[in-house]
Amino acid sequence: MLKHRGFPGRLPGTDFQFTLRRANPRGVTPITRRERFADRKPADRRADAAFFRALWENFGDQPFERGNLDAGRLSWLFGREVLPAEDPFDPASYEALLVLDLTAARVSFPDEVDR
């Protein structure tokens, strides 16, 4: 499992996790698309924006390996701002390649993309 050095481990002051310390010995947690409903808590929205900002600052518009990025946090963005960068895509692989969709990100997180 690739460890993304310099990537924030969590949202400061919260328990919103962004990275894993070690690989899961029982298997890789698959990335799945999670629906973001309009009534989500403001803290959840801040965590999504901060995670996207970290992805943007670390990887830009280039494909990146999932590595130690948290599957739960990726799942909130998957299928919209984060897309598979390979075909076939294995959602249960630490080596899976992902890429940011800047068009969708500008709609969801305009302040984060155009910083």
The backbone torsions φ and ψ at residue 105, rounded to the nearest 5 degrees and listed phi first, read -65, -35
Which amino acid is residue 96, in one-letter code?
A: A
Q: Is the pLDDT of residue 113 over 80?
A: no
pLDDT band at 115 (very low <50, low <70, confident <90, very high): low
CB neighbourhood size of 85 (10 A): 15
Three-state DSSP at 10 gives: strand
What is the Cα gyration radius of the chain? 13
Question: pLDDT, tens digit, for every residue of 83-97?
Answer: 999 999 999 999 999
Question: pLDDT, tens digit, for every residue of 29-74?
Answer: 999 999 988 888 999 999 999 999 999 999 999 999 999 999 999 9
